[in-house]
């Protein structure tokens, strides 16, 4: 059933001692140590679950272009990733927030100016069991579910609602707490499965479950794996109104992200702690280039640095361009 939502940062940091930065294929050395460049060498980056599909594709393409570059993208909850960034265990963090003032002060003490880039407009997708007809949900209902006030599905008092997340310190958990006004108030019935794939599996197998995942896991219809995910669950439409209806509820499709209709949209950021122009800087620049942003577009997210042409809008299908 997964573990209760009590994953701590210290547990993750303890388990993450194996994170280390090495080098391969360097073109420059300093004091006998390998130094990466914007297109060569090896670095480790922390990627929250929400950004794994898009970063996986981007890293693969980048390494195909720059064959002397090796980027090890570790799947790590966002908040843990930032702590590892301060410890110099990872070179950058990909997640759903920028640094806060306290974190920027840490870099300032080291005379380092961190770089924060808007990467892609993402969203939290809400998924339910395929037998569940209740796929129009308001933000207030989600607040009740995650806050522990709404315990059963409407009209089915014996069917207990089980909210499911990936990790307690993930971008999804942090975003939902802030968006719904539930900071420190998530119900103890929320379960963390350990990964997005396990969230999808759990919701597909349990009629009462409701899962919260990064939309990047179900937005790319060219991906056989994502088509399989979508066939096993239902993606809910979310409304910011008091009463959800077809006319005011929107699924997390690319078009509705662009039109600012989907209420659980959020930006993904690349945060780099590099003190010089190394491989992290080169990768970030490439991810924000036209080629990198086209990968974002194909994945069903909204590019942060290039325009999107809207041609057809249909609530039952993805955006046609």
Instruction: Map out the domains of the chain as residue ranges.
Output: 3-120+266-303, 122-265
Q: How far apart are CA 111 and CA 136, in angstroms?
A: 49
Per residue, what are the HEC states of 215-272?
Answer: HHHCCCCCCHHHHHHHHHCEECEEECCCCCCCCCEECCCHHHHHCCCCCCEEEEEEEE
Contact 115, 284 (CB under 8 A): yes
- Calculate Rg over the CA atoms of the chain: 20
Contact 257, 302 (CB under 8 A): yes
Domains 3-120+266-303 and 122-265 share a fold: yes
CATH of the domain spanning 3-120+266-303, picked from 3.40.50.2300, 3.40.47.40, 3.40.190.10, 3.40.50.300 = 3.40.190.10
Contact 45, 167 (CB under 8 A): no
pLDDT, one tens digit per residue, over 4-57 is 454 444 444 444 433 433 333 344 455 556 689 999 999 999 999 999 999 999
Q: Please name which of 222, 211, 239, 243 lies closest in space to residue 130, comparing C-alpha atoms.
A: 211
Burial of 316 (0-12, 13-18, 19+ CB in 10 A): exposed
Identify the pLDDT of residue 3.
Answer: 46
Tens digit of pLDDT at every position of the chain (321 positions): 444 454 444 444 444 433 433 333 344 455 556 689 999 999 999 999 999 999 999 999 999 999 999 999 999 999 999 999 999 999 999 999 999 999 999 999 999 999 999 999 999 999 999 999 999 999 999 999 999 999 999 988 899 999 999 988 789 999 999 999 999 898 888 999 999 999 999 999 999 999 999 999 999 878 888 888 888 999 999 999 999 999 999 999 899 999 999 999 999 999 999 988 999 999 999 999 999 999 999 999 999 987 655 555 555 544 433
Which residues make Cβ contacts (< 8 Å) with residue 138, sequence separation at least 6?
238, 239, 240, 241, 242, 243, 244
User: In the CATH scheme, what is the homologous superfamily, with its name and number, of domain 122-265?
Assistant: Periplasmic binding protein-like II (3.40.190.10)
pLDDT, one tens digit per residue, over 53-83 is 999 999 999 999 999 999 999 999 999 999 9
Helix (H/G/I), strand (E/B), else coil: 124: strand
Kindly tell me the number of DSSP H helices and DSSP E strands found in the chain: 11, 18
HSE (side-chain half, CA atoms, 13 Å) at 192: 19
**DSSP H or E run through 202:** helix 196-205
């Amino acid at each position: 059933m997964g573990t209760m939502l009590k994953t701590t940062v210290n547990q993750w940091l303890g388990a993450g001692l194996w994170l280390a930065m090495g080098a391969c294929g360097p073109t420059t050395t300093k004091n006998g140590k390998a130094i990466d460049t914007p297109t060569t060498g090896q670095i480790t980056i922390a990627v929250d679950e929400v950004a794994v599909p898009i970063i996986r594709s981007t890293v693969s393409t980048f390494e195909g272009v720059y064959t002397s570059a090796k980027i090890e993208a570790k799947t790590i909850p966002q908040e843990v990733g930032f702590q590892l960034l301060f410890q110099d265990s990872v070179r950058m963090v990909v997640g759903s927030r920028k640094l806060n003032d306290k974190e920027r002060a840490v870099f300032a003490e080291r005379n380092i100016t961190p770089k924060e880039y808007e990467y892609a407009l993402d969203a939290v997708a809400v998924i339910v069991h395929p037998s569940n007809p209740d796929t129009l949900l308001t933000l207030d209902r989600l607040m009740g579910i995650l806050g522990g006030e709404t315990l059963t599905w409407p009209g089915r008092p014996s069917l207990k609602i089980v909210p499911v997340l990936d990790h307690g310190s993930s971008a999804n958990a942090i975003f939902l707490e802030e968006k719904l006004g539930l900071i420190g108030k998530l119900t103890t019935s929320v379960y963390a499965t350990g990964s997005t794939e396990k969230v999808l599996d759990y919701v597909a197998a349990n009629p009462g479950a409701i899962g919260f995942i990064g939309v990047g896991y179900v937005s790319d219809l060219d991906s056989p794996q994502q088509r399989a995910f979508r066939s096993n669950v239902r993606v809910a439409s979310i409304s910011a109104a008091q009463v959800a209806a077809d006319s005011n509820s929107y699924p997390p499709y690319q078009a509705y992200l662009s039109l600012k209709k989907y209420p659980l949209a959020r930006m993904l950021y690349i945060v780099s702690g590099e003190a010089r122009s190394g491989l992290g800087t080169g990768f970030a620049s490439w991810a924000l280039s036209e080629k990198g942003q086209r990968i974002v577009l194909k994945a069903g997210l909204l590019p942060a640095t290039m325009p999107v042409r809207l041609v057809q809008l249909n609530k039952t299908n993805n955006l046609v361009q």
